[in-house]
Amino acid sequence: MGIRDARRLGPVEEALKGKVTNREGAERAGLSVRQFRRLKQRVARLGPAGLQHGNRGQPSRRRTSATVRERILFWLCRPEVRVNDCHIAEKLREEERLKVSHETVRRVRRAEGIAPKRQRRSRRHRRRREREARCGAMVLTDGSPFRWLDDEGPELDLVGTLDDATGKILSLTLRPHEDLHGYGLVLQETFTLHGLPERVYGDRTTVFVRSDEHWTVEEQLAGHQHPTHLGQALQDLQVDYIAALSPQAKGRIERLWATLQDRLVVELRLRGITTVAAWLAYLPEFIADYNRRYALDPREAESAWRRAPRDLDLILSCRYQRTVANDNTVTLEERVVAVPPGPGGRSYAQCKVELRELLDGRLAVLYRGQRIAQLAPPPGAFVLTPRRHRLRRLARKTDAHPSPRIDDRAEVRVKTRAVLKPTPQSTTRPRRPGPKHPWRRYPTTHPAPSPVG
């Protein structure tokens, strides 16, 4: 018997003995007169147990049925993959037409003593950054290493972009590691399908931000280092890049990786997808389903997306300064681009040009902003990687300082030449000039000045 029933027992017994009226007992028990009379009859027939509700101890009619409970346990105990509570509720609702909430799944799981898929920990206090008001105002980009295709396979990097205002996935690609080619692909797809954003928010990866200490003479005179290849491309597109100082600063895309490592992996395992080709074929369906479920409406209807230029593929490239050879060719390591004659049959020999290596492997030669030559991509799979500067490679071989300044740059060049072309040391003693040598004829001291008379 509970405390409430114990408090009602005294007035009911006094009313049964005739010490108080029904109205007085109802006021003391906090009940209506009609309910008080019912309790008097039940206590007179059953004793103090009559105060308890008749459904006490009986199973609820709204409890989860045995069939639904069995299906929940089936998803909780799948041997090939673990599924979280919310995902199980969605699977039961979509595939088996069973209306189950994630709280019901959680209650069944805890009753069976099954640990959650991911342990929760207390969150640290951080200041919230409000979402951007317009679509395209800020795009988050990052990479996530994980065993996406197979639990026993190698780790692959998932590189993608996310709209900050709505939380929509804009582009995803799978790479062996986080590299320039992967970021170039997702940026190209994002700019082509949606447009140019105002800002790109990412981490301090060397793909976008230079972290080396090497300075050329031009950079020292300018007072700042030249940007990276993709950094220069974003500058040409008038897109600002913001480098985050911590993972929490770009927490929205970090939470996206946590969701994809949970949901996307489960969907891949259920569909038996273990190859990159099958993964790329299924990716558009998953992105559309994710954006339909979790995307938000922006606070402002006006969009900040800008139309991408027609030569976007030429801008998203690696750039190198070259001088056209006398035979009108431009070389990038082992690849040679033949430059055709210009207007009027002119030659471009000894002209300063810019050589660009595109994402698809093509080489383009630009002279004063105009494309004058192009080379087809090499056969087979191509991966765009930045070519290191020759001076840096030579300085690294000679163990020279990685960031030579103007005053010690000559020393690095001398050391480099000494390593490449060593000269034999002479074993003879240096020859001294004879007594009749012209060096001996001049006095070693200056004569004293004559007095002025």
pLDDT confidence band for 370 (50 / 70 / 90):
very high
- One domain, residues 359 and 414: no
- One domain, residues 371 and 394: no
Instruction: Classify residue 329: in a domain, yes or no.
Output: yes
CATH number for the domain spanning 176: value is 3.30.420.10
Count of domains for the chain: 5
- One domain, residues 217 and 289: yes
- One domain, residues 369 and 394: no
**8: buried, middle or exposed (CB in 10 Å: 19+, 13-18, 0-12)?**
buried
- One domain, residues 207 and 249: yes
- Residue 294 in this model has a pLDDT that exceeds 70: yes
Instruction: Classify residue 130: in a domain, yes or no.
Output: no
Instruction: Give the DSSP letter string of 165-214.
Output: TT--EEEEEEESSS-HHHHHHHHHHHHHHT-B-SEEEE---TTTS-----
351: which residues sit within 8 A by CB, 6+ positions away?
323, 324, 367
- One domain, residues 290 and 401: no
Instruction: Classify residue 124: in a domain, yes or no.
Output: no
- Residue 421 in this model has a pLDDT that exceeds 60: no
Instruction: Classify residue 268: in a domain, yes or no.
Output: yes
What is the average pLDDT value for the chain, to the nearest integer? 84
Pull the structure tokens for residue 444: 């070693």
- Residue 353 in this model has a pLDDT that exceeds 90: yes
The predicted structure's pLDDT at residue 395 = 43
- One domain, residues 329 and 288: no
Instruction: Classify residue 203: in a domain, yes or no.
Output: yes
397: which residues sit within 8 A by CB, 6+ positions away?
416, 419
Average pLDDT on 6-29 reads: 85
The predicted structure's pLDDT at residue 61 = 77
pLDDT tens sequence across 36-75: 888 888 888 888 877 777 777 777 778 888 889 999 999 9
Instruction: Classify residue 94: in a domain, yes or no.
Output: yes
- One domain, residues 207 and 247: yes
Phi, psi dihedral angles at 169 (to 5 degrees): -75, 125
- Residue 80 is part of which domain span? 66-111
- One domain, residues 199 and 227: yes
- One domain, residues 185 and 223: yes
Instruction: Give the DSSP letter string of 393-417.
Output: HHHHHTT--SS--TTTHHHHHHHHH
- Residue 406 in this model has a pLDDT that exceeds 70: no
Instruction: Classify residue 58: in a domain, yes or no.
Output: no
Pull the structure tokens for residue 275: 């190859």
Lowest mean pLDDT: which of 52-61, 227-236, 322-331? 52-61
Residue 164 and residue 296: Cα distance in Å, rounded? 10
The predicted structure's pLDDT at residue 398 = 43
Cβ atoms 181, 175 nearer than 8 A: yes
pLDDT tens sequence across 245-260: 888 888 899 999 999 9
**405: buried, middle or exposed (CB in 10 Å: 19+, 13-18, 0-12)?**
exposed
Instruction: Classify residue 449: in a domain, yes or no.
Output: no
- Residue 453 in this model has a pLDDT that exceeds 50: no
Average pLDDT on 275-296 reads: 93
pLDDT tens sequence across 172-214: 999 999 999 999 999 999 999 999 999 999 999 989 998 888 8
- One domain, residues 143 and 269: yes
- One domain, residues 211 and 322: no
- Residue 397 in this model has a pLDDT that exceeds 50: no
- Residue 123 in this model has a pLDDT that exceeds 80: no
Residue 364 and residue 337: Cα distance in Å, rounded? 8
